[in-house]
Amino acid sequence: MAMIDGFASMAITGYSWAGIAAYPLAGPLLALRTAKGKEDRARRLERFGYPSVDRPHGPLVWIHAASVGETLAVVGLMRELRRRDINVLLTTGTVTSAELVRLRLDGEIIHQYVPLDLRPAVRRFLDYWGPDIAISVESEIWPTTLGELDRRHIPQILVNARMSDRSFDRWHRHNSIAEALFSKLSLVIAQSDVDAERFRDLGAWPVSVSGNLKVDGDAPPCDAAVLARYREQIGHRKTWAAISTFEGEEKIAVMVHRALKAHVGLLTIVVPRHPERCDELEAMMVEKGLKVARRTRDDAITPDTDVFLGDTIGEMGLYLRLTEIAFVGRSITGQGGQNPLEPAMLGCAVLTGPNVENFRDSYQRLVRNGNARIVRDAEMLAKAVHFLSVNDLARHKMIDAGTETLQEMRGALVATIKGLEPYINPLTVKARLEPRAARQR
């Protein structure tokens, strides 16, 4: 969740932003906030609003997505805008999201790193790019940027919007500040009825509901040759994956593996949320007597490999295709949960801890329909993994329930585009008339 962090004296309509540290739903100062060692130094000037590519002629929509998950959520929306001949400028805040754009959207859209939420950087950015509309994804609200967009009469829209319990409680305690921000949004398109009601309570209007755009996205891809090689190495062994894990959950995965290894000959796949922790995680696993294969070393998975450590970024599609059982982390020792839709898309029975408030709607649907189960601790997780490993019927029933649930949840992209039509239809007309006028001249 993005935060305001260290604002000095940025004011919007008379409000001082000094000392509002740790507020949710606001963009951070990103000069040094990317993961250690992950700053793209060659493109640092983009943080200060200096462009690194030419602005194309014609209408342009600026979309901001914080990182990889938010970027994947709006791929379909960006492609729809391009189909309408509208230029798309995507800003993100992480190197991993920039690499994702390069791999999957190169030549389709323009990518820049998001400028710092400081007036000179924001003005420089807006002066150059001159967007017709600004769209933020999920939970990104930047006070200075929002104020500058409002001053220039550029609509700012929040799509796939969500608000956690914690964020809502904090904003609700400061209603006047919340209303000063949220009332400047031209439109909010929320993921769920609960999210929509929270945005309305805080001053946003109008607010509609689309569902979750991530459901309408494609399943994460993978290299077919690499997948085939690992499947051959794994053979007939039982597998399970602990993905998007946070500190403490890898130890739980090790406990589960050691408890079940003798019973089912298990291979455990661990994909931490932050791969830079993998050296210490491997050391912990080796100390526990486990043999570890790492993806970055291209280690082979041998019959005596205990843990396959997924220490790369952007290969979740590979790791999830190697199993049919996935525990989704940040839900036992962490708070908020992580997205369960990707494992459901890729044919996995989903297990999660109880702390999933950031993805409540998705989990409620998956649990209610039988694709996901909630486990409280390591013991419950071990029992669930063992049961699903040896009970093919139960496992496949959960997988089928996930497929049906995802089908029921689709439609968010259509609903989002419908909500945006009053803003993008004029741009479509303008984009398609301008080339014709140029030819006539």
For the cut 80, the answer to whether the pLDDT of residue 17 exceeds it is no
Q: Which of 6-15, 145-154, 317-326, 373-382 has the lowest mean pLDDT?
A: 6-15
Q: What is the pLDDT of residues 92-103, one digit of tens each?
A: 998 888 988 998
Long-range contacts of 205-212 (CB under 8 A, 24+ apart): 208/415, 208/419, 209/415, 210/159, 210/160, 210/411, 210/412, 210/413, 210/415, 210/416, 210/419, 211/409, 211/410, 211/411, 211/412, 211/415, 212/73, 212/160, 212/341, 212/361, 212/362, 212/409, 212/412
For the cut 80, the answer to whether the pLDDT of residue 1 exceeds it is no
Q: What is the pLDDT of residues 249-258, one digit of tens each?
A: 999 999 999 9
Q: What is the pLDDT of residues 163-199, one digit of tens each?
A: 988 899 999 999 999 999 999 999 999 999 999 999 9
Q: Which residues pair with 70 in a beta bridge?
A: none
Indicate which residue of 70, 138, 148, 342 is catalytic: 70
What separation in angstroms does the CA of 409 have from each of 216, 322, 405, 406, 414? Answer: 8, 25, 6, 5, 12
∠ CA(15), CA(20), CA(21), 5° rounding? Answer: 155
| Mean pLDDT computed over 391-416 | 97
Reported confidence tier of residue 436, pLDDT bands at 50, 70, 90: low
State how beta strands 23-24 and 60-64 pair.
unpaired
Among candidate residues 340, 48, 44, the one with its CA nearest the CA of residue 212: 340
| Mean pLDDT computed over 105-122 | 96
Q: What is the pLDDT of residues 23-45, one digit of tens each?
A: 344 333 333 333 334 668 899 99
Token pair recorded at residue 289:
């007597």
Measure the CA–CA gap between 397 and 162, rounded to whole angstroms: 30
| Mean pLDDT computed over 368-376 | 97
∠ CA(135), CA(139), CA(140), 5° rounding? Answer: 55
For the cut 90, the answer to whether the pLDDT of residue 150 exceeds it is yes
Q: Which of 14-28, 144-158, 278-292 has the lowest mean pLDDT?
A: 14-28
Backbone angles phi, psi at 349, to 5 degrees: -75, 130
Q: Which residues pair with 240 in a beta bridge?
A: 268
Please, how many CA atoms are within 13 Å of residue 228, restricted to the half-sphere of its CB? 3
| Mean pLDDT computed over 277-298 | 98
Among candidate residues 117, 134, 164, the one with its CA nearest the CA of residue 64: 134
For the cut 70, the answer to whether the pLDDT of residue 143 exceeds it is yes
- With a pLDDT cut of 90, the percent of the chain lying above it is 80
Q: Which of 11-20, 63-72, 135-144, 367-376 has the lowest mean pLDDT?
A: 11-20
- Neighbour count for residue 65 (Cβ, 10 Å): 29
pLDDT at 390: 96
Measure the CA–CA gap between 369 and 225, rounded to whole angstroms: 34
342 is catalytic: no
**Mean of the per-residue pLDDT values for the chain?**
90
Topology, domain 224-409:
Rossmann fold (3.40.50)
pLDDT at 264: 86
Positive or negative torsion for Cα 428, 431, 434, 438 = negative
Topology, domain 7-216+412-433:
Rossmann fold (3.40.50)
pLDDT at 437: 54
| Domains 7-216+412-433 and 224-409 agree in fold | yes
pLDDT at 5: 29
Residues 16, 21, 26, 32, Cα dihedral to 10°: 110
Does residue 340 have a cis peptide bond before it, meaning omega lies within 30 degrees of 0? no
Domain boundaries, the chain: 7-216+412-433, 224-409
Is-contact 161 185, C-beta < 8 A? Answer: no
Token pair recorded at residue 44:
């640092």
What separation in angstroms does the CA of 392 have from each of 235, 239, 345, 351, 366? Answer: 17, 13, 19, 16, 19
Decide: residue 85, CB within 10 A, 0-12 exposed, 13-18 middle, 19+ buried: middle
pLDDT at 18: 32
Reported confidence tier of residue 263, pLDDT bands at 50, 70, 90: confident
pLDDT at 435: 67
Measure the CA–CA gap between 207 and 305, rounded to whole angstroms: 51
Q: What is the pTM of this model?
A: 0.85
Among candidate residues 2, 1, 32, 13, the one with its CA nearest the CA of residue 144: 13
| Mean pLDDT computed over 111-133 | 98
